[in-house]
Amino acid sequence: MENFSEWFHDILENAEIIDSRYPIKGMSVWLPYGFQIRKATLKIFRDLLDREHDEVLYPLLIPEEELAKEGIHVKGFEDEVYWVTHGGQKELNEKLAIRPTSETAMYPMFSLWVRSHIDLPIKQYQVVNTFRYETKHTRPLIRVREITTFAEAHTVHSSSAEAAKQVETGIELYKEFFDELGIAYLISKRPVWDKFPGAEYTMAFDTIMPDGKTLQIATVHNLGQTFAKTFEITFENKEANHEYAYQTCYGISDRAIAAAIATHGDEKGLQLPPELSPKQITIIPIIFKDGGEEVMAKCLEIKKSLEAKGIRVQMDTRDIRPGKKFFDWELKGTPLRFELGPRDLNNNVAILGRRDSGEKIETSLDENIAEKVSDLLVEVEENLKSTAWAKQEEKIVTLDTLENASGIVDEGKVIKFYWCGDEECGRAIEEEADLDILGINEENIETDKLCPHCGKPAKHLALIAKTY
Amino acid sequence: MENFSEWFHDILENAEIIDSRYPIKGMSVWLPYGFQIRKATLKIFRDLLDREHDEVLYPLLIPEEELAKEGIHVKGFEDEVYWVTHGGQKELNEKLAIRPTSETAMYPMFSLWVRSHIDLPIKQYQVVNTFRYETKHTRPLIRVREITTFAEAHTVHSSSAEAAKQVETGIELYKEFFDELGIAYLISKRPVWDKFPGAEYTMAFDTIMPDGKTLQIATVHNLGQTFAKTFEITFENKEANHEYAYQTCYGISDRAIAAAIATHGDEKGLQLPPELSPKQITIIPIIFKDGGEEVMAKCLEIKKSLEAKGIRVQMDTRDIRPGKKFFDWELKGTPLRFELGPRDLNNNVAILGRRDSGEKIETSLDENIAEKVSDLLVEVEENLKSTAWAKQEEKIVTLDTLENASGIVDEGKVIKFYWCGDEECGRAIEEEADLDILGINEENIETDKLCPHCGKPAKHLALIAKTY
C-alpha cells in the first residue's frame, strides 16, 4: 500500500471497525463489526492469561494522593492525566485522576492483602479503559485519548528472582498472543531513558508497520521494590523477617488490534486471521432464475456441517450481485468464501475462495467440506503469520555505521546495530539521527565490533527506528 | 437473616466478592471470586442480548454541550455528574462529563448513521462503567458511585408501534435474565414523577430484598421522539417524508448480582444458582493415613467425567480438615459437594451434598455420577428459583386501605392497592405514608374498588413499598 496512513484511516471506516467522528478528539466508537474483532482478540488474550492469573476489576478513578505517592511514576504521567474536579455542582474535596494505568489504584489494595509469604504470589489482570491527554496528533487505535482496551497484568512476588522469572513468563505469554494474531514482533530491552516510569527495566514488543515505522504493542516491566516501598507492600518471609515485595506489570492495548489490521491488510481491505475474524467463511449462493431452491438447500446443509465443526459461518443471501458480495467480504477480511451456483450443483462441485492467496479451489461436494475448510483455515493462519515474519525480515538491516541511518529508515527499514549501551552515547545517537533507539535486542553479546557512535567496544545488538 | 444490611456487608467480604476498602467512597474492587460471578452473570446477559442486538462500545466521556442538549434529561442528572475539567496541567476548553448513562454519547452518532427507514431498526448494547456522584449513603453493588457493570441497550425505530413493541421485548429479555438468576421480581410502570428523565414512560423490575425493601434491578424506557428531536435523528420514511425516529433504552446493573446474592444467601453464606457459580461442584477427597492414593485416583476420575459433561468442577486438596472445606464452599455458595473417603470407596459409594437443602445423598459409584450431578444442578436451580418466588409471594399483601401502610411495610411487606392513578393523589399517598409508589402493576383493570386516598374509582393495581 502506497500511503499506509490513509489506508488505515479508510479501512477503519470502510470495514466498519471504528467510527472516529465522536465529538471528542482521540475517542472513538467501536462499531458492531469492530467490536466482534475486539471480542475475538480478547478471548485469545484471556485464554492465555487465565492459565495463571486472576481476572479482577479496579475502579477507574484514583485519588490524587495515591497517584502522587510514587514520584517518578507520577512525573511520567503528570502531563497526560485527566482530572475530575467536580461532582454535580460541587467541587470535590480531593481531585480524582482518571487512571492512565492502574499501579496506583491497585497497589494500595495489595498493601492491605499481603501480610506473609504465603499470600504470594499475586497474579492479577484486568481489561479496562485508560486515559491519556495526548497532545500529539491522535489516530484511532494507535494514539488515542481513551485506550478502550488496556489489558494490564500486575504481579507480586516474594523474591527478586521470582519477579525476574515472571517477566520472562510475561514475554512468553505475549509471544503466544501475537503468534495467534499472526503479528511479527521485535523484542527489546528499552533504553533506561525510555523505560516505564518507576520500573527497573522494561522489555517491549514492537512491530514494524507497513510504512516502516515501529509500533510498540506490548511492554513487560520489572518494578523491583520501587512501588512496594512507596505503597508499603511488605511481607513476613520464611525467616520471619519483614521484607518489601517484588513486583512486575505488563500490558497490551488496542494497538494489538491495530497491528493485526496493519499486518495483514492489503489493497482489497481488511484481512483477518481466522481466530480474529467474526465469521471465518461466507457462503454465497449464486442464484439465477432457476434452481435457486436446490442451491439454497445445499448451502444450508453445508452451513450446518461447518457449524457442527465449530466453524463460524455466515450466509450472504442479500439480493445483490455476487460480485458485490465478494467485494464486501474481501473488504471485511473474512478468510474464506464458499460459492455455489446451479451449474456447480449440477456438476457436484463448489468453489472455495481464499482471501489470502486469492486462490479459487474447485471442490467436489462429495468431499468432507467441513474438514477441508477446517484445514484451509489452518493454512490461511500459517500463511498470514509466515508472510508477516517474512516481511519483517526484509525490513531489518544490520549496519556497522549509522551515518545514513535516517535515510535508510525513511526507506521503511529498521536498523540493527552494535552498541556500547551507554546512556549518553545512546541519547546522542537518537538526536543526531532523529530516530529512536527501540532498545537492546540481544544483550551482552561477544563481538569485536565497535559502537558506531562513540567507538567504544560494542556490547549489544540494538534496534533503531522511527516510532509511532 | 436478622440484619440483612450487616449480612450483606459481611458476605461480600467473607466470600471474597468485593473489597470496599478502596480509597474512594462508593467505589470498590471486584476480587477474583466476585469477578467470576460477574463474568458468569454477563455471559447469561450477553447470550440473551446477542440474539437481536449488536454489542458496541462508546467513549466514557461526553462533551458538556452534548449532555446539556436534552434539557429534561440533564436536569435529572445534573447533581450526579462527575466533571473532568483538566488534562494534565491544563484546563480543558470544554468540560467533559463522565457518563452517568450513555444517551448523550450515543445519540449524536445515531444522528450520523440514520438516513432512511432502511437504516432502521438499530439495536445496540454495551456493558460499561457509569458514574453517579451519590450523596446518599453508599453500599457496594447497590448504591455506588462507580457502577462497574452497566449493561445498557439502545434501540431506534421507524414507528411508535415498533418502539412500544421493543419495550415489550426488553421486558421479556429481562424476565428470562432474572429467571436464569432465580430472582423473583415485580414489574410495574413507574409513576410519571419517577420515570427516566426524557422518557415517555418507564417500566421497571423490582425485587424484594430480605429486609422487605425493594430494589430496582432493571428499567425499560420508551423514549418516544424526545431524544430524536434533540439529537436530530431523522429518517426518510417509505413515503419519502422525513420523520423523527422512535427510541427505547433499557438497562441492568451490578444490582442484578446484588439481588442474586441477597435472594439466595443464608446464614451459612452465599448460595449461587449453578449458572452463576464459578464452580458448580467441589470434590473433597477425605484422606486419612491410608488409602489416600486410591481415593485421589477415583476423585480425579470423577472430576474428568464431570468436566466431560461440561460441568465446572474444582477439587479441594488443601491440607486442612474436611469440615473446614465444607464450611468454606458453603460460604462461597458452590451448589454441590462430592465427598469420598477410603471407607466410602471400599463400600463403592460417595456422598453428594446439596448446598440448598443441606441434603446428603449417598450414591453408588457404579451410577453415572456426571448425569446425576447434572440432574441435581437442574433441581437446585429450580429449587432456588421457586423458593425465591414463594418468598416474594409471602411478602406481598393486597390491601383496601393504606391507613397502616407504613407499619405493614416495616414488617417487611410490599403492598398492592387499588389506585386512581392521579399524580397529585399519588404524591400525597407517598408523602403521608413516607413510602414510594413503585408503579402500576396491573393497568386499567375492571374494579368496583375506590382509591383508598382520594375515594375516586380505582383504575389500577399499584405497588407501594420502602425502596433502596
Is any Cβ of chain B less than 8 angstroms from the Cβ of A109? yes
Amino acid at B434: D
- ipTM for the complex shown: 0.96
Report, as an integer, the average pLDDT of A201-229: 97
In this predicted structure, the answer to whether residue A289 has a pLDDT above a threshold of 90 is no
Contacts of A38 in chain B (CB under 8 A): 57
Please write the tens of the pLDDT for every residue from B452-468: 999 999 999 999 999 99
Give which of A206, A185, A188 is closest to A392, Cα–Cα. A185
Give which of A205, A202, A143 is closest to A179, Cα–Cα. A205
Q: What are phi and psi of B149, to 5 degrees?
A: -125, 85
Please write the tens of the pLDDT for every residue from B137-156: 999 999 999 999 999 999 99
Nearest Cα of chain A lies from the Cα of B88 at a distance, in angstroms, of 4
Is any Cβ of chain A less than 8 angstroms from the Cβ of B136? no
**Residue B128 and residue B149: Cα distance in Å, rounded?**
6
Please write the tens of the pLDDT for every residue from B53-73: 999 999 999 999 999 998 888
Bridge partners (DSSP) of residue B350 are B363
The total of other beta-carbon atoms located within 10 Å of residue A324's CB is 11
Q: What are phi and psi of B262, to 5 degrees?
A: -70, -40
Nearest Cα of chain B lies from the Cα of A392 at a distance, in angstroms, of 33
**Residue A67 and residue A80: Cα distance in Å, rounded?**
13
Contacts of B135 in chain A (CB under 8 A): 88
In this predicted structure, the answer to whether residue A140 has a pLDDT above a threshold of 90 is yes
Give which of B203, B195, B131, B214 is closest to B170, Cα–Cα. B203
Contacts of B39 in chain A (CB under 8 A): 55
Return the DSSP state at A217.
E
Contacts of A86 in chain B (CB under 8 A): 82-83, 85
In this predicted structure, the answer to whether residue A8 has a pLDDT above a threshold of 90 is yes
Please write the tens of the pLDDT for every residue from B294-317: 999 999 999 999 999 999 999 999
- So what CATH class is B4-264? alpha beta
Please write the tens of the pLDDT for every residue from A430-445: 999 999 999 999 999 9
Beta strands B414-419 and B460-465 are antiparallel
Burial category of A406 from C-beta neighbours within 10 Å (exposed 0-12, middle 13-18, buried 19 and up): middle
Report, as an integer, the average pLDDT of B244-273: 98
Residues 66-85 of B with CB under 8 A from A: 66, 78-85
The total of other beta-carbon atoms located within 10 Å of residue A271's CB is 26
Peptide bond into B121 cis (omega under 30): yes
In this prediction, residue B288 carries a pLDDT of: 76
All structural domains of chain B with their residue ranges: 4-264, 281-376, 396-465
Dig out the grid coordinates for A463 from the structure.
Answer: 534496534
Report, as an integer, the average pLDDT of A234-239: 96
Mean pLDDT of chain B: 96
Contacts of A32 in chain B (CB under 8 A): 54-56, 124
Give which of A146, A170, A197 is closest to A251, Cα–Cα. A170
A-B Cβ pairs (cutoff 8 Å, strict)? 148
Report, as an integer, the average pLDDT of B3-24: 97
User: What spatial distance separates the first Cα and last Cα of chain A, rounded to whole Å?
Assistant: 18
Please write the tens of the pLDDT for every residue from A60-85: 999 999 999 988 888 888 899 999 99
- So what CATH class is B396-465? alpha beta
Q: Do B98 and A85 touch (CB under 8 A)?
A: no
Return the DSSP state at B24.
S
Give how far the C-alpha of residue B291 lies from the chain's centroid of Cα atoms, to the nearest Å: 47
CA distances from A175 to A126, A149, A205 (A): 19, 19, 9
Is any Cβ of chain B less than 8 angstroms from the Cβ of A54? yes
Listed in order, strand segments (DSSP E) in A7-106 are 18-19, 29-30, 54-55, 61-63, 82-87, 90-98
What CATH number is given for B281-376 in this structure?
3.40.50.800
B389 touches B184 (CB < 8 A): yes
Taken in order B64, A255, A124, A97, the sign of the CA dihedral is negative
Is any Cβ of chain A less than 8 angstroms from the Cβ of B109? yes
Give which of A86, A204, A124, A150 is closest to B19, Cα–Cα. A124
Dig out the grid coordinates for A417 from the structure.
Answer: 546495530
Return the DSSP state at A193.
G
In this predicted structure, the answer to whether residue A179 has a pLDDT above a threshold of 90 is yes
Contacts of A108 in chain B (CB under 8 A): 22-23
Element of type H or E holding A343: helix A342-347
Beta strands B54-55 and B29-30 are unpaired
Query: Which residues lie below 8 Å from residue A192, measured CB to CB, with a gap of 6+?
Result: A201, A423
Q: What percent of chain B has pLDDT over 90?
A: 95
Minimum-distance CB partner of B55 among A35, A57, A112: A35
Nearest Cα of chain A lies from the Cα of B293 at a distance, in angstroms, of 27
In this prediction, residue B294 carries a pLDDT of: 92
In this prediction, residue A302 carries a pLDDT of: 97
Q: Do B56 and A86 touch (CB under 8 A)?
A: no
Please write the tens of the pLDDT for every residue from B340-399: 999 999 999 999 999 999 999 999 999 999 999 999 999 999 999 999 999 999 999 999
A25 touches A60 (CB < 8 A): no
Is any Cβ of chain B less than 8 angstroms from the Cβ of A24? yes
**Residue B196 and residue B181: Cα distance in Å, rounded?**
25
Give which of A188, A100, A202 is closest to A150, Cα–Cα. A100
**Residue B239 and residue B230: Cα distance in Å, rounded?**
23
Please write the tens of the pLDDT for every residue from B80-114: 999 999 999 999 999 999 999 999 999 999 999 99
A306 touches A295 (CB < 8 A): no
Q: What are phi and psi of B97, to 5 degrees?
A: -90, 140
Is any Cβ of chain B less than 8 angstroms from the Cβ of A35? yes
Q: What are phi and psi of A341, to 5 degrees?
A: -120, 175
**Residue A271 and residue A357: Cα distance in Å, rounded?**
11
Q: Do A79 and B60 touch (CB under 8 A)?
A: no
**Residue A309 and residue A328: Cα distance in Å, rounded?**
25
Please write the tens of the pLDDT for every residue from B403-453: 999 999 999 999 999 999 999 999 999 999 999 999 999 999 999 999 999
Q: Do A23 and B112 touch (CB under 8 A)?
A: no
B131 touches B217 (CB < 8 A): no
Residue in this structure with the C-alpha cell 448513562, named with its chain if needed: B101
Query: Which residues lie below 8 Å from residue B92, measured CB to CB, with a gap of 6+?
Result: B84, B85, B86
Q: Do A19 and B57 touch (CB under 8 A)?
A: no
Return the DSSP state at A139.
B
Rg (CA), chain A: 25
Q: Do B35 and A29 touch (CB under 8 A)?
A: no
Query: Which residues lie below 8 Å from residue A366, measured CB to CB, with a gap of 6+?
Result: A348
Give which of A250, A184, A232 is closest to A48, Cα–Cα. A250
Model confidence band, residue B75 (pLDDT cutoffs 50, 70, 90): confident
Is any Cβ of chain A less than 8 angstroms from the Cβ of B88? yes
CA distances from B202 to B198, B199, B220 (A): 10, 7, 6
In this prediction, residue A72 carries a pLDDT of: 85
Contacts of A105 in chain B (CB under 8 A): 22
The total of other beta-carbon atoms located within 10 Å of residue A225's CB is 17
Q: What is the DSSP string of A66-91?
A: HHHHSHHHHHHHTTT-EEEEEETTEE
Report, as an integer, the average pLDDT of A458-466: 97
Angle of helix B369-395 relative to helix B255-264, nearest 10 degrees?
Answer: 100
Contacts of B105 in chain A (CB under 8 A): 22
3-class SS at B283?
Answer: strand
Amino acid at B27: M
Beta strands B18-19 and A214-224 are unpaired
**Residue A257 and residue B125: Cα distance in Å, rounded?**
21
In this prediction, residue A224 carries a pLDDT of: 98
Is any Cβ of chain B less than 8 angstroms from the Cβ of A55? yes
In this prediction, residue A291 carries a pLDDT of: 65
Q: Where are the alpha helices (DSSP H) in B15-149?
A: 32-49, 64-69, 71-77, 103-113
Contacts of A24 in chain B (CB under 8 A): 59, 61, 63, 96
A168 touches A189 (CB < 8 A): no
User: What spatial distance separates the first Cα and last Cα of chain B, rounded to whole Å?
Assistant: 18
* ∠ CA B16-B19-B23, rounded to 5°: 170
Rg (CA), chain B: 25
Q: Do A86 and B88 touch (CB under 8 A)?
A: no
Report, as an integer, the average pLDDT of A90-109: 97
Give which of B32, B85, B94 is closest to B64, Cα–Cα. B94
Element of type H or E holding B360: strand B360-364
The total of other beta-carbon atoms located within 10 Å of residue B288's CB is 10
Please write the tens of the pLDDT for every residue from B181-237: 999 999 999 999 999 999 999 999 999 999 999 999 999 999 999 999 999 999 999
Dig out the grid coordinates for A8 from the structure.
Answer: 488505515
Model confidence band, residue A292 (pLDDT cutoffs 50, 70, 90): confident
Test mutation, B19, B21, B56, chain A, max A CBs within 10 A: B56
In this prediction, residue B291 carries a pLDDT of: 65
Query: Which residues lie below 8 Å from residue B353, measured CB to CB, with a gap of 6+?
Result: B326, B336, B337, B338, B339, B359, B360, B361
